[in-house]
Amino acid sequence: MRRWVAGLLLSLVTLTGCGVGGAPVRASIGARQALTSPPEMLEFESPSTRLELYREVARLSEVESGQSAQALVLFPISQSGELVAAPGFEPRTDLLQSPDAGAPLQLSFDGRAGERWPEDRRESLQGLSEREAAELVARTLLAHWKINPAGVVQVDRASGAPYAAAYVDGILRINPAFLYMAAAYGPASQAGAVQ
C-alpha cells in the first residue's frame, strides 16, 4: 500500500512539473492594491481579471457614495468646500462610452503636474492610447457626477495613487491603472465573462 501511495505521489509531482495537471495558483489582487501598482501590471492581465477588478471598483463606488472622504475613498471630489466620495456607478457602466452632454467640456492634458499621458495605442485599452481613454473616462465621470465647470478642466495622470479618480479644485486626477480596468468592460463582458 505504501508503495502504491508513493508511486501515485511521484506521478503527480512528475505530471505537475511537466505542465500536466493543475496550473499554479496565483494570489489574486484586489482593486485597491491594483490601483497602487504600476499600470503596466494591469495591462498584461487577462480581460476577465481586469473586468472583475473594474466591477469591484464600481461596487465600492456605490458603497462609498456620499461619504466624507476623511477615510480613503476611490473617487474623492470637492463639493461645497468639503471632500466627499463621488456618486457611485453601476458595475455595468461603460466609462468609455462618453455621453453627449450638449456643451462639450474643455479638457487639458498638458501634463503640467509632471506625468505625461502616453499617446501610443494599447490593445488593453481597446486600441486607444491612455490619453484617449482618459478623455472618455473624464467626460463620462464628470457628466455622471454632474460637474459642469465654467473653464478648462486639467486632467492629470496619477499613477500609483490610492484612488481611481479624484476631482479637486478644478483638476481631475485619473489613475491610469483604473483606465485598464474600465477598458476591460467592453471586450471581456461581450466575450462571455460571467456577469
Residue 6 lies in a domain: no
Phi (first) and psi of residue 154, to 5 degrees: -80, 130
pLDDT of residue 104: 76
**pLDDT tens figures, 114-148:** 688 999 999 999 999 999 999 999 999 999 999 98
**pLDDT tens figures, 12-49:** 334 344 444 444 334 468 999 999 999 988 888 899 99
Predicted TM-score (pTM) of the model is 0.79
Per-residue pLDDT for 174 more than 80? yes
**Residue 2, C-beta contacts closer than 8 angstroms, at least 6 positions apart:** none
Nearest CA to 177 among 77, 41, 79?
41
Residue 12 lies in a domain: no
Query: For 113-149, b where at least 16 C-beta lie within 10 A, e where not — what string?
Result: eeeebeeeebebbbebbbbbbbbbbbbbbbebbebee
Residue type, 118: P
Residue 8 lies in a domain: no
Domain extent, residue 157, equals 29-190
Residue 116 lies in a domain: yes
Residue 13 lies in a domain: no
Check residue 25 and report its DSSP letter: P
Residue 51 lies in a domain: yes
What is each CA distance from 107 to 111, 138, 153, 183, in whole angstroms?
12, 9, 5, 20
- The domain total for the chain is 1
Residue 19 lies in a domain: no
Which contiguous run of DSSP H or E holds residue 58?
Answer: helix 47-64
Residue 22 lies in a domain: no
Question: pLDDT confidence of 68, banded at 50, 70, 90?
Answer: confident
